[in-house]
Amino acid sequence: QRYIFIQLPLFGKDKPEECSEKIDQWFYIFNNMSTMETMPFTQKDRLFRRLSSVASYANLSDEDKMDYDADLKAYRDIVGQLSYAEAKGIEKGIEKGIKTGREEEKTEMIVNMMKVGLPIDQIAVIANMTVDKVREMFGNQKIW
């Protein structure tokens, strides 16, 4: 097992532009974090963006942290509600589409039975409908 000790005060790079390697960027941040106003390297690496977010949160007052947490919870609740509503809407749309398809298929079946000359009472029995309902669908007209 090997241990490596890093002496940050001996790290010799004073500007972010001098840090081309990832390890140099980390050393620079650790060495200068207490004096930085903005986090460097956030444009290049999402890990540094995350570190910037965590550091910003840690720097908030207790009251500001509570406000931030409440806002974040409210945001997540809204996102969850929208996601649920979207899923329910899709589900209802599918159900409605299936129902409409079945109704169209039934209507087509009734039209075909009328075209071959089946009596309306037989059509009603086959379609599992009342004679009045079949007449209502087609306005008492014979289709053939």
Q: Please indicate whether residue 69 or residue 59 has the higher confidence score (pLDDT).
A: 69
Q: Is the pLDDT of residue 144 over 80?
A: no
Tell me if 38 is assigned to some domain: yes
Tell me if 45 is assigned to some domain: yes
Output b/e per residue, 48-82; b: 16+ Cβ within 10 A: beebbeeeeeeeeeeeeeeeeeeeeeeeeeeeeee
Tell me if 37 is assigned to some domain: yes
Tell me what pLDDT residue 91 has: 93
User: H or E segment at 91?
Assistant: helix 62-115
Of the chain, the percentage scoring pLDDT greater than 70 comes to 96
Tell me if 103 is assigned to some domain: no
Place of tokens 């309306």: 120
Domain extent, residue 19, equals: 9-59
> What are the C-alpha distances in Å from 65 to residues 33, 42, 58, 100?
20, 23, 8, 52
- The pTM of the whole model exceeds 0.75: no
Tell me what pLDDT residue 141 has: 62
What is the domain count for the chain? 1
Tell me if 1 is assigned to some domain: no
Tell me if 21 is assigned to some domain: yes
DSSP type of residue 65: H
Tell me if 78 is assigned to some domain: no
Tell me what pLDDT residue 99 has: 92
pLDDT tens figures, 91-129: 999 999 999 999 899 999 998 998 898 998 999 999 999
